[in-house]
Structure 1
Amino acid sequence: MTDSHAALIVVATSGEAARLTDLPARVVVSGVGPVAAALATARALAAAPAAVVVSAGIGGAYPGSGLLPGDLAVSSVIVQADLGAWDGPVFLPLGELGLSVQPDGTQDAVFSVWDRAAQVAARAGAPLGPALTLCSVTGSLNAARALEARYPGALTEGMEGAGVAHAALLAGVPALEVRGVSNPVGPRDRAAWRLPEALAATRRGVQAVLEVLRQGRGS
């Protein structure tokens, strides 16, 4: 029998999953990007319920976040940051265009998160702030700064969080994103990446989610 109080953990790659499969949660490998993540999340929730869905994995940290490789970030909101329109040099988010990701117009591209996000961050000793989702990794410092200006306090950049959050929203399940920092957002420098440290941080974030979930149901 499936435990409806369990967490569903969605990761992009098998390498990220390998660090989590021994934990007491369902772990699903979605593939890269918000579409793949949304489809995998929807399929997993249709197959069995969950108390919370977590988009987990490694990601980049924005320059103003103060985060370093090996650090962890927990989402306060999850944003599809590249969904909108360019008007010359100005980016217009969906809300400013009068558009929505929902047919009834009730949801722009900023997704709320699990109401225990602050507890997860405190337990993990991690900052809480916006997690941005983009379909293409940001490759310049100017672009990173522009995203920070558009979404003040942005901590991390990933490619799946908004897809997971959207599927969870439609299923009526809360979502959260935890990112282990592998590199700074900006010029691509593979030599500066710290993948083992980022994967360890991701595991710490998932463990904090599971501890808060277990505490919430009194076991």
Structure 2
Amino acid sequence: MLPLIVVATHAEAERLLDLNARVIVSGVGVVAAALATARALAQQNAGLVISAGIGGAYPASGLLPGDLAVSSGIVQADLGAWDDSRFLDFEELGLSVLPDSPHTGRFSTWAAAPEVARRTGAHLGQMLTLSSVTGSVEAAAFLEERFPSALTEGMEGAGIAHAALLAGVPVLEVRGVSNAVGPRDRASWQISQALAATRKGVAAALEVWLEF
């Protein structure tokens, strides 16, 4: 069974099409990613699902544009409720993303993730999924306080992880860093370098998968 690589955009897919894997473009956002992944796995099973693409890095992560991040866990970080200025996550609310068991939107990732990070020199840590891109220093700091080991944020990872979990397939998120999380400064983004880092991470993951 070939691994399945899920990306949000055609630009992200273009750098990966020659790899020995099935690549699909889901569209942007957690719902689009979950639906596309579920459909792809229903059509053809996979030995591994990789959520791949570019993303922003949290300031405390130490990651710079062009660096690579590999997931030790994937978190749907905006699931919850606001109580005035306090955010209540699903654990506090007693809610679950699964109907028959407790699950708060924190997804475990492929056991070989540390080896992928070791081979590529990537940072290994949590990756956050949000439905809206963080756009201020204060919002980034709030998320870092909630998730001290967070490396990057994206808009698809948790949806892909959820679909993979339901299908019983291990999942990994790989992101090349294009910018810092915070104020939206498009002039400082390094898209080409981030795409190259993403390819490096995905290629290494596929090599490890063949050996694992």
* TM-score, normalised by the number of residues in structure 2: 0.99
Does residue 88 (structure 1) correspond to residue 88 (structure 2)? The answer is no
1:1-219 pair list within 5 angstroms: 4=1, 6-216=2-212
* Paired residue secondary structure (1:203): helix
* Paired residue secondary structure (1:155): strand
> Which 4+ stretches in 1 moved above 6 angstroms?
none
C-alpha deviation, 1:181, in angstroms: 0.2
CA contact 2:131–2:155 (8 Å) conserved in 1: yes
CA contact 1:133–1:162 (8 Å) conserved in 2: yes
C-alpha deviation, 1:105, in angstroms: 3.1
Paired-residue identity, % = 70
My pick for the range that moved more, 99-108 or 53-62, is 99-108
* Paired residue secondary structure (2:131): coil
Q: What is the CA–CA distance in structure 2 between the aligned matches of 1:136 and 1:78, rounded to whole Å?
A: 16
* Paired residue secondary structure (2:20): coil
* Paired residue secondary structure (2:110): coil
C-alpha deviation, 1:190, in angstroms: 0.3
C-alpha deviation, 1:106, in angstroms: 2.2
C-alpha deviation, 1:107, in angstroms: 1.2
Aligned pairs, number:
212
Q: What is the CA–CA distance in structure 2 between the aligned matches of 1:106 and 1:53, rounded to whole Å?
A: 23
CA contact 1:99–1:105 (8 Å) conserved in 2: no
C-alpha deviation, 1:73, in angstroms: 0.2
Tell me, which stretches of 5 or more residues in structure 1 are unaligned?
Answer: none
Q: What is the CA–CA distance in structure 1 between the aligned matches of 2:102 and 2:167, rounded to whole Å?
A: 15
* Paired residue secondary structure (2:6): strand
Aligned AA (1:120): V
Q: What is the CA–CA distance in structure 2 between the aligned matches of 1:75 and 1:87, rounded to whole Å?
A: 30
Aligned AA (2:97): V
Q: What is the CA–CA distance in structure 1 between the aligned matches of 2:102 and 2:112, rounded to whole Å?
A: 23
Aligned AA (1:67): L
My pick for the range that moved more, 159-168 or 119-128, is 119-128
Aligned AA (1:79): V
Aligned AA (2:67): D
* Paired residue secondary structure (2:172): strand
Aligned AA (1:62): Y
Q: What is the CA–CA distance in structure 1 between the aligned matches of 2:22 and 2:93, rounded to whole Å?
A: 38
* Paired residue secondary structure (1:70): coil
Q: What is the CA–CA distance in structure 2 between the aligned matches of 1:95 and 1:58, rounded to whole Å?
A: 29
C-alpha deviation, 1:124, in angstroms: 1.3
C-alpha deviation, 1:82, in angstroms: 0.4
Cα deviation, 1:68-87, whole Å, max 9, x if unaligned, reads 00000001100000010111
* Paired residue secondary structure (1:179): strand
